[in-house]
Structure 1
Amino acid sequence: MTPYSATSAARDLAQACRGLADLGLSPGSSGNASVRTEEGFLTTPTGRPLGDLTASDLSFLDASGRHRDGPPPTKEVPLHLRWYARAPHHRAVVHLHSTHAVAAACLVPADDASVFPPYTPYSVMRLGAVPLLGYAPPGSEALAALADHLPSSTRACLLAQHGSMTMAHDLATAVQGAVELEETARLHLLLTPRRTVRTLSDDERTALLP
């Protein structure tokens, strides 16, 4: 699969991010996305609402993941890079904190390997199995390392207490997967009224405090 050119990737990534924000899937300055380009990677910047982004606002990383141009990149760069390294056929990653996906990521699933039953043909076709990764602090190498336990065929997952990730061979498909995952999570919450909720432990909560 040919990587994106930097010019087209910047335009398309900024447009996709604004579209996700317009759908209400990126509250505040949450969420991030990236694409693999011919020269390296383009990522969204840290601390910026996805709905405000233009092509000139993106961060450029070289092929080894070093920040080369633009504003400081999202703190989830380790997670994105880990995924690209282990799934070379993927050219786009979308990570969101959309409401229903986050809620589903706070539940104790019946099966960590596939959080959602096959509710609809669309979730099966667009997402496949959606595993739940364990909890690790946002932006940490420990969180990135959890991706090593997923099959390379994985197209979507939930991060415990955190949000969703979708990965695909192109940006449009990764974005469509993120939308489908949010809708599947919403169905899951509607259809499974009795649930066990996991919260952060005292140690996990303390580790996040200044």
Structure 2
Amino acid sequence: MTDPKLHDAIARWGKSLFERGFTAGSSGNISVRTDDGYVATPTNSCLGFLDPGRLSILDGEGRHVAGDAPTKELPLHFAFYRNRPEARAVVHLHSTYATALSCLADVDPADAVPPITPYVVMRVGTVPVVAYTRPGSPEVAPLIDAVAPRHAAVLLENHGPVVSASSLDAAVYAIEELEETAKLVLLTRGMAVRLLDAEKIADLKQNFGKK
């Protein structure tokens, strides 16, 4: 049995993200790991109009047991949960600037979001680019398996950002930080940007513990 407050929180965050333009139409999905399974947004649902009573409920093996049919992106979500025991929530959006970064051929595939602010280091960490797969394809799972033990967030090539975190709130804050940093990266593209150096990054990781 899932907590109605959790369902309300997912719907509230979905509405907030949608209304602030972080994702459009029926794009984007959210999941939360509970003590005995998962709660996820339904397939083809708009994050701005989620009905808490119709969210998808899955058991500990990922089988759909109640609510509407779940998002087709579950292989993506489960790959993060499988590789990051501390992860309790995963958020995937089609936010404009992070998605734009995911489409650029010349970004560093090992670190697509340069450390231009302390907060992207603290809340997001290094963000690799995962090779393109069809949305919802199970082929994304081994690609996430390869990076998720070391990275809490990724950019899906030509698709958009995904972030995992220890709580729903933390996952939303992190994906918002990722989007805002991607915006800064694109706004300063071609300029002489001062990046945080290795010493500053090491200090942030020591004090805030982000991989």
Q: Deviations over 1:113-164 (max 9, x none)?
A: 1112111111111111011111111100111221011142412110000000
When the two chains are superposed, the root-mean-square deviation of aligned CA atoms in Å is: 1.6
- Taking structure 1 as reference, are residues 13 and 116 closer, same or farther at Cα in structure 2, changes over 3 Å only? same
Aligned pair partner of 2:129 in 110, 128, 132: 132
Q: Deviations over 1:45-96 (max 9, x none)?
A: 0111100013112100110001111111100011111211111110000000
Aligned pair partner of 2:45 in 39, 48, 56: 48
Q: Deviations over 1:147-200 (max 9, x none)?
A: 011142412110000000011000101000111111111111111149xxxxxx
Is 1:112 aligned to 2:70, yes or no?
A: no
Is 1:24 aligned to 2:21, yes or no?
A: yes
Which residue is equivalent to 1:89? 86
SS at match of 1:41: strand
Report the AA paired with residue 191 of structure 1.
T
SS at match of 2:185: helix
- Taking structure 1 as reference, are residues 8 and 38 closer, same or farther at Cα in structure 2, changes over 3 Å only? farther
Which residue is equivalent to 2:197? none
Which residue is equivalent to 1:10? 7
Which residue is equivalent to 2:72? 75
Is 1:159 aligned to 2:182, yes or no?
A: no
SS at match of 2:72: coil
Which residue is equivalent to 1:122? 119
Report the AA paired with residue 175 of structure 1.
V
Return 5+ residue gaps in structure 2 as ranges: 192-211
Tell me which stretches of 4 or more aligned residues in structure 1 moved more than 4 Å.
none
Cα deviation, residue 8, structure 1 = 2.7
Give the distance between the partners of 1:27 and 1:145, measured in 2 at CA. 28
Report the AA paired with residue 6 of structure 1.
D
Cα deviation, residue 110, structure 1 = 4.2
Contact 1:36 1:91 survives alignment (8 Å): yes
Report the AA paired with residue 131 of structure 1.
P
Contact 2:124 2:153 survives alignment (8 Å): yes
Report the AA paired with residue 176 of structure 1.
Y
Give the distance between the partners of 1:178 and 1:87, measured in 2 at CA. 17
SS at match of 2:39: strand
TM normalised by structure 1 equals: 0.86
Cα deviation, residue 7, structure 1 = 2.6
Aligned pair partner of 1:176 in 169, 173, 178: 173
Give the distance between the partners of 1:54 and 1:144, measured in 2 at CA. 28
Return 5+ residue gaps in structure 1 as ranges: 195-210
Between Structure 1 and Structure 2, how many residues are aligned?
191
